A and B are shown apart, each in its own frame.
Chain A
Amino acid sequence: EIVLTQSPATLSLSPGQRATLSCRASQSVSTYLAWYQQKPGQAPRLLIHDASNRATGIPARFSGSGSGTDFTLTISSLEPEDFAVYYCQQRTIWPPGYSFGQGTKLQIK
């Protein structure tokens, strides 16, 4: 099973700053990686898929990069509504399966 490790566990920043979140896979996942945002009491929301493609309706300040085992989610200029927990997810083509990282909590400094 592929294990995803996210860092840091918690990131404290101020609105307007740039956020950089990392996700490392225990083996190559090519670009089969997504990022989700989850706010308290809500379901996760798909932000980025296939490592670098923004999902429908996601603002341009969110961007993803990476391939193989190392991936990054960047928020170029934090808005107040961006403070949340972020999860990376990988998918296995065959047999089909998925795993998630343990999450990065982005909190207001």
Chain B
Amino acid sequence: QVTLKESGPALVKPTQTLTLTCTFSGFSLTSAGMRVNWIRQPPGKALEWLAHINWNDEKFFSTSLKTRLTISKDTSKNQVVLSMTNMDPVDTATYYCARSYSGSGGWFDSWGQGTLVIVSS
């Protein structure tokens, strides 16, 4: 059974850096074709893909946010970490991690429950 769970601060101040961790089980990020993605959703709004990291450590980012994002993995801990710099109130959102796998077309077939991050002073 594939599971993912996001963790991190619920509240961050403007200009601070947000660091979120996705801890997963049921698959390995060393398996060819595997990816972990980050997606966010402001309250009442649509989904926005942020970044993903591949099994071979390739990293890809949303064009609009690439200067603010970093992503890394720790395969020994089954974790992926996303950092976003210079947080602003407009970054208030639920942040999700999700698995994708080239064997299933690269779509997001398993998601975490999400973690709400509020940006406020």
Interface residues of A, Cβ cutoff 8 Å to B: 1, 34, 36, 42-46, 49-50, 53, 55-56, 87, 89, 91, 95-103
B107/A44 in contact, CB under 8 A: no
How many chain B residues touch A (CB < 8 A): the figure is: 21
Residue in B closest to A33 when the chains form the complex, CB atoms: B107
B106/A91 in contact, CB under 8 A: yes
B113/A43 in contact, CB under 8 A: yes
Q: What number of A-B contacts does a CB cutoff of 8 Å give?
A: 54
B57 located at the interface, meaning its Cβ lies under 8 Å from any Cβ of chain A in the complex: no
| One of B60, B62, B63, B96 near A43 (C-beta < 8 A) | B96
| One of B46, B107, B113 near A34 (C-beta < 8 A) | B107
A96/B52 in contact, CB under 8 A: yes
CB pairs A–B below 8 angstroms (13 shown): A1-B63, A34-B108, A43-B111, A43-B112, A44-B96, A44-B108, A44-B111, A46-B107, A53-B105, A56-B109, A87-B47, A97-B49, A101-B46
As a 0/1 sequence over residues 85 to 119 of chain B, the CB contacts with chain A under 8 angstroms (1 = contact) are: 00000000000101000001111110111100000
